[in-house]
Amino acid sequence: MTIIAIDQNLCTGCKECSKVCPTLAIEGYPHQPQTIAESRCVMCGQCVQKCKSYVSVAEHGAEAYERVRSERGLPESVKEPLFAAYNVCRLNEVKAALADPDKFTLVQCAPAVRMAIAEDFGYPLGTLAAGKLAAALRRIGFNKVYDANFGADVTIMEEGSELIDRVTNKGLLPMFTSCCPAWVRYVETKHPDLRNHLSSTKSPQQIEGALMKTYGAKITKTPAEKIYVVSVMPCTCKQFESSRPEMSDSGGRDVDVVMTTRELAWLIKDLGIDFAALPDEGFDKPLGDYSGAAGIFGVTGGVMEAALRTGYELLTGEAIPAVDIAAVRGTDGFRTAEVPVGQLKLKVGIVTGLKNVEPVMEELKAGRLNDYHFIEVMTCPEGCVTGGGQPKLLVDLDLPEAYRARAAATYSHDKELPVRKSHENPSVKKLYDDFLKKPLGKESHKLLHTTYAGDPKHH
């Protein structure tokens, strides 16, 4: 399955894309079309964000533009420049599902989408648009509008419990986060001998999808085989993740198709929905309820902070002294912290950007990270808010402000929510009471955990 491609007819060989590729997967001579070495590509889409070679109606004429737009299966309403580096669009699959009376369509949104979607409608960088996002998805015609943030809260319940189990029972440490599919692929292809350091907990997207087709089927009284799950993600690699054969524990594919933030904006415009005029609406319950901890998954260090908020209380039985854990925030390449959790000094690390991970892997192989407990790795520059599927900024000077504004909106959203810890989300409590029973239990293990092979051949 091709996820990221470079149009040989449009690429001018400026090599800007190769400068941001964290795995050196883009090859070619200057001033000649570049190619992607699929064996190294982790499908993060940073080349898509960076590419400057394009076709436009104004510069190349309507016929040339229309040919490229049609080849890529983009809506006719798309008029913006089309760049040489692009991710394969699957909006036609989404539209077909919405038009199929035999499909019960459920949609979920990642936390970073609500911090960026409004930018494609003329709003300032980092505008929080959770309410309009939910409203837009309802107008599009989805049967239920859910939130991957609920899956993020469940991820913390499972991953936090897994970390505690490894720490208390002398399991393999440090444990690495596994919610970033590009990072997981990197481990599988570059360091397959270290893949058991990855948490077995699935990503929020995959957890939410598995729950939609099981727990959600029961709630909505809908046969699981009729349920069609669509994800809206800031990440171009999420389509790859959803297509993995391991991600089918619900009986079929846990997530059927993924569209990016940018593609959702195209769809809203294509259907003539006036985004600015939409009222603020909530996500459907219970699979749309979320805590502030889930929301911060979108920024670097967010998964770590969310896990610590819950892990502290699971380990000690006491309320964490401060919900905001500044020690794990920031954008340094690899930052470390020691967090007191009862009698335990939890040593954690956060890798921002996959380009910074190789020294960490070498340190691990050399045995110099054996005293660390938990390490978060995010592939994109400052976490999911900077994902390859987010709105594209044509001027590089705008990037730092976009990153700052989206992160600021993320933390602001966390502070304003009534529940800020995953284990205190009442809908998550009910999920475990009524369906999963307990973290790391039999049902949780079946639906929400997985193992990873070395060097998957799914691309």
Residue 287 carries which DSSP code?
A: T
User: Is position 313 annotated as part of the catalytic site?
Assistant: no
**Active-site residue among 21, 44, 51, 179?**
179
Of 395, 439, 457, 401, nearest to 154 by C-alpha is 439
Q: Residue 179 and residue 208: Cα distance in Å, rounded?
A: 12
Of the candidates 93, 246, 363, 443, the residue annotated as catalytic is 246
Structure tokens at 66: 């229309």
Between strands 26-27 and 257-260, the pairing is: unpaired
Calculate ∠ Cα 228-230-232, nearest 5°. 170
Q: 119, 158, 159, 376: which is the annotated catalytic residue?
A: 159
> By C-alpha distance, which of 346, 316, 343 is closest to 173?
346
Cα 112 to Cα 388: distance, rounded to the nearest angstrom = 12
* Annotation marks residue 190 as catalytic: no
Distance CA 353, CA 332 (A): 9
Q: Is 162 a catalytic residue?
A: yes
Instruction: Reply yes or no on whether 159 is catalytic.
Output: yes
d(CA 271, CA 276): 14
> For the chain, what is the radius of gyration of the CA atoms?
21
What backbone torsions phi and psi does residue 34 show, to the nearest 5 degrees? -90, 155
Task: Considering the candidates 47, 51, 132, 162, report the single residue annotated as catalytic.
Answer: 162
Cis peptide before 286 (omega within 30 of 0): yes
User: Could you tell me the end-to-end alpha-carbon distance of the chain, in angstroms, rounded to an integer?
Assistant: 5
**In the Cβ-directed half-sphere of 128, how many Cα atoms lie within 13 Å?**
14
Active-site residue, selected from the candidate residues 199, 243, 291, 422: 199
Q: Quick one: which of 116, 80, 10, 71 has its CA closest to 389?
A: 116
Contact 458, 1 (CB under 8 A): yes
DSSP letter for 389, please.
T
From CA 180, how far away is CA 199, in angstroms rounded? 11
Distance from chain centroid for Cα 151: 11
Catalytic residue among 158, 188, 208, 241: 241
Any catalytic annotation for residue 14?
A: no
Q: Of residues 178, 243, 384, 444, which has the active-site annotation?
A: 384
Give 209's Cβ-side CA count (13 Å radius): 31
- Is 384 an annotated catalytic residue? yes
Phi, psi for residue 379 in degrees, rounded to 5: -75, -45
Catalytic positions, written as ranges? 159, 162, 179, 199, 238, 241, 246, 384
